[in-house]
A and B are shown apart, each in its own frame.
Chain A
């Protein structure tokens, strides 16, 4: 039977690959990614299941799913020209992905089917740092975290629970690591950016609160307080926290093995080891 051996939460800042080397101990960002990558190596995962919010590159406003799963033999990217990311082809565990979608549909989640797709930096920046060799199959579960109205935190929590049921009911002996990609508070290109920048952290207090909830394993509080209004106040990509919520539900998260907040970026790096 498949097992969930780890939970991971990391950011996907698109400027990092061109400015932050992989495993550079002199750089804070690189150290945080490396600490998560080291633990991922230790748990020996066979598959990476990633909750991700596409940045209008895999999908667009002409046909935008709130929830979708990539069910294909392979994917590739980056499809958004992110500087510093090499072009990669990734296997997708198609039978498992189809099974996860089936279970979600049976549980009344209307998860769109995506069979021919490429991925952007929101998927590939995490992999660039966590698994630069690109040798693990990727099962992407897309949650709309950018375009209002977003799915609710309660719904994403429940989605994570259903994805867990799906993985644990898969008969093959697979070790699955569940990744959440995204920030806690971030504005990109909107009115709450910093002067002289196209980025900003509109609600650093919220990012600190999220960090506190994660550190104490208080996911009930995160789900309760991550209202649509709060996520909007956290920035126009503040909905990426929904990926962390789904991940936490999927792994039945307690307190993390490691957790680092980067306040200046409004994001964090977390690892939950579950194979003990």
Chain B
């Protein structure tokens, strides 16, 4: 169920520039309202998108994070980690 929170956060980033800025400045604060597990929060902050996908989060939504390189996720890094989840 809490993968919903990861998905919601990614979707909200697309629509909320303030949230994106907060995610860069204070990731833990940005994630606090989303009800994530400790593992999910740690994985997001570490940019471990392959782990998050394997735990049920949407790859489609996770890929939004590359648009602003949140959590260190540029496109090559994202692709490498997500492809490793095959």
Contact B60–A197 (Cβ < 8 Å) = no
In angstroms, how far is the closest chain B Cβ from the Cβ of A64? 11
Interface centre among A56, A79, A237 (most CB of B within 10 A): A56
By a CB distance below 8 angstroms, the chain B residues around A44 are: none
Bound together, the chains give a CA A114 to CA B78 distance in angstroms of 35
- Let me know if A192 is at the binding interface, CB within 8 A: yes
- Let me know if A149 is at the binding interface, CB within 8 A: no
- Of residues 180 through 211 on chain A, the ones whose CB sits less than 8 Å from some CB of chain B are 187-198
Interface centre among A55, A81, A189, A193 (most CB of B within 10 A): A189
Given contacts A61-B4, A198-B75, contact A146 B60 (CB under 8 A): yes
Interface centre among A55, A191, A237 (most CB of B within 10 A): A191
- Secondary structure call for the A interface: loop
By a CB distance below 8 angstroms, the chain B residues around A56 are: 11, 58, 60-61
- Let me know if B47 is at the binding interface, CB within 8 A: no
Contact A197–B11 (Cβ < 8 Å) = no
Contact among B50, B59, B85, B86 with A188 in the assembled complex (CB-CB below 8 Å): B59
Contact among A79, A81, A147, A196 with B75 in the assembled complex (CB-CB below 8 Å): A196
Contact B60–A188 (Cβ < 8 Å) = yes
- Of residues 40 through 86 on chain B, the ones whose CB sits less than 8 Å from some CB of chain A are 50, 53, 58-64, 66, 75-76, 78-80, 82-86
By a CB distance below 8 angstroms, the chain B residues around A81 are: 14-15
Interface centre among B15, B61, B86 (most CB of A within 10 A): B61
- Let me know if A236 is at the binding interface, CB within 8 A: yes
Interface centre among A57, A147, A193, A194 (most CB of B within 10 A): A193
Bound together, the chains give a CA A62 to CA B53 distance in angstroms of 19
Contact A198–B14 (Cβ < 8 Å) = no
Contact A193–B14 (Cβ < 8 Å) = no
By a CB distance below 8 angstroms, the chain B residues around A193 are: 59, 63, 79, 82-83
Contact among A57, A60, A196 with B76 in the assembled complex (CB-CB below 8 Å): A196
By a CB distance below 8 angstroms, the chain A residues around B85 are: 191
- Let me know if A80 is at the binding interface, CB within 8 A: yes
Contact A192–B78 (Cβ < 8 Å) = no
By a CB distance below 8 angstroms, the chain A residues around B66 are: 198
- Let me know if B24 is at the binding interface, CB within 8 A: no
Contact A197–B59 (Cβ < 8 Å) = no
In angstroms, how far is the closest chain A Cβ from the Cβ of B22? 18
By a CB distance below 8 angstroms, the chain B residues around A194 are: 79
Contact A237–B82 (Cβ < 8 Å) = no
Interface centre among B58, B60, B62 (most CB of A within 10 A): B60
Bound together, the chains give a CA A188 to CA B78 distance in angstroms of 12
Bound together, the chains give a CA A84 to CA B11 distance in angstroms of 20
Contact A191–B14 (Cβ < 8 Å) = no
Given contacts A61-B7, A61-B8, contact A198 B78 (CB under 8 A): yes
Nearest residue (CB) in A for B4 is: A61
Given A191-B53, A236-B60, 13 further pairs, Cβ under 8 A: A56-B60, A61-B7, A80-B14, A80-B15, A147-B58, A190-B53, A193-B63, A193-B79, A196-B76, A197-B79, A198-B63, A198-B75, A237-B60
Give 14 CB contacts A-B under 8 Å: A56-B11, A56-B60, A61-B7, A188-B59, A188-B60, A188-B63, A189-B59, A190-B53, A190-B82, A191-B86, A192-B86, A193-B79, A195-B79, A198-B63
Q: Which residues does B use to contact A, with CB under 8 Å?
A: 4, 7-8, 11, 14-15, 50, 53, 58-64, 66, 75-76, 78-80, 82-86
